[in-house]
Structure 1
């Protein structure tokens, strides 16, 4: 049996045109697994119970918070896309590659995994330590592909701050999870079904 040598792992920057679908999905799922693991470890250091944090709340008020923020974000994004040139919001083609040819069930799965993993880490753990402002700066910074342009970076920061705000107001992590899921799902479906003109 061949021995695994961690020293042979190389990290290098690649562009969207150097990625194939398999590599993109591996990257996505590995980063989400790392996000989940870091979030769980951070929560345990804070002496928070991750299962309690993910307890389903009584009543459906969190759906109104999540759907309301998602509707506002989607409306703002659609308005901005009318007036902002496409190159000013370019993410290097990653979203296009991720959603363009993906089956709908897989888009739903991706959005669900991303929303749960990222909200557990960012709203559940990091916001508990640093508050919504600094959490939003970190959230915007990890979305590296947007950092080349100030408009998408500002939008990601604002969305993150909104997610933090509805988490505080609703009292449940499920409100930002729902909002994050709906925003990603609608944007993914727009990319999936958009006609190229």
Structure 2
């Protein structure tokens, strides 16, 4: 049996174009699982009640907060894409690679997984500890593919702050989860069917 030597491990930079579709999905789901685990552990260390956090309130206002923010974000994004050159909003082709060949059901699954995992960590855990402003800075920073251009970076920061704001206004983490899901799902459908046509 060959002996394992840690000095033989080599790290190299990989672009999204170097990944095949299978590896891209594995990377996406592994990242979300990691995000979920960190969020779950952090929430438990904060002594928050996870079941209470995900229990829908009696009033449906959280749905309106989520859908309203999603509609506003999609409208702003469509206006930006209409008037701003494509290279100024370039994310390196990641979203295009993720959504362009997916069936609608898979776009919905990806959007739901990302919404739950990221909102548990960012709104449920981090915002609970440091507030919406610094949470939004961290959120924008981890979406590193947008940092090359100020427009998508500002948009990601603004979306994150909006998600934090509706979380505080509605009192339910379900509001930002709904908004995050709808934003990703609708933008995924736009990418999917724009590329198809």
TM-score, with length taken from structure 1: 0.94
2:14 is the alignment partner of 1:14: yes
1:4-83 maps to which residues of 2 (within 5 A)?
11-83=11-83
The offset of 1:16, in angstroms, is 1.9
DSSP 3-state at the match of 2:131: helix
The offset of 1:59, in angstroms, is 2.5
Query: Structure 2 vs 1, CA of residues 21 and 64 (structure 1 numbering), >3 Å: closer, same or farther?
Result: same
TM-score, with length taken from structure 2: 0.94
Query: In structure 2, how many angstroms separate the alpha carbons of the residues matched to 1:8 and 1:45?
Result: 37
Pairwise CA RMSD: 2.0
The offset of 1:12, in angstroms, is 3.6
The offset of 1:5, in angstroms, is 8.8
Unaligned runs of at least 5 residues, structure 2? none
Contact 2:36–2:120 (CA under 8 A) maintained in structure 1: yes
- 1:106 matched residue in structure 2: 106
How many residues align? The count is: 197
Contact 2:100–2:195 (CA under 8 A) maintained in structure 1: no
1:36-185 maps to which residues of 2 (within 5 A)?
36-185=36-185
Unaligned runs of at least 5 residues, structure 1? none
